[in-house]
Amino acid sequence: MIYKFNFSRTIINWFHKHGRKNLPWQIKKNIFKTWISEIMLQQTQVKTVIPYFKKFIKKFPNIKKLSNSSLDEILFLWSGLGFYNRAKNIYKTSQIIKKKYNNIIPDNFYHLLKFPGIGKSTAGAILSLTFNYFFPILDGNVKRILKRFYNIKKKYQLEQKLWKKINFLTPIHNSQKFNQSMMDLGKIVCKIHQPICKICPLKKKCLTYIKKIDIKKNKKSKIKKIKKCWFIILKYKNLFYLKKQKYTIWNNLYYFPMFYKKKKMLKWIKKKKINFKNKKKLKKFLHHFSHYSLLIKVIIIKIKKIKKIKNNKIWFNFNNPKKIGIPIIVKKIFFKIYKKNKI
Write out the catalytic residue numbers: 38
Sequence-separated (6 or more) residues with CB below 8 Å from residue 65: 59
Report the C-alpha gap between 125 and 133 in whole angstroms: 9
96 CB burial (10 A radius; 0-12, 13-18, 19+): middle
Does residue 149 contact residue 202 with C-beta atoms inside 8 Å? yes
Run of H or E residues at 276: none
Across-strand partners of 295? 228, 286
Residues 6+ apart with CB under 8 A from 270: none
Beta strand extents in the chain (DSSP E only)? 226-236, 239-244, 254-255, 258-259, 279-281, 285-288, 293-302, 313-317
Burial of 130 (0-12, 13-18, 19+ CB in 10 A): buried
Distance CA 50, CA 134 (A): 27
d(CA 112, CA 100): 12
How many angstroms separate the CA atoms of 37 and 71, rounded?
A: 18
CA 147 remoteness from chain centre? 13
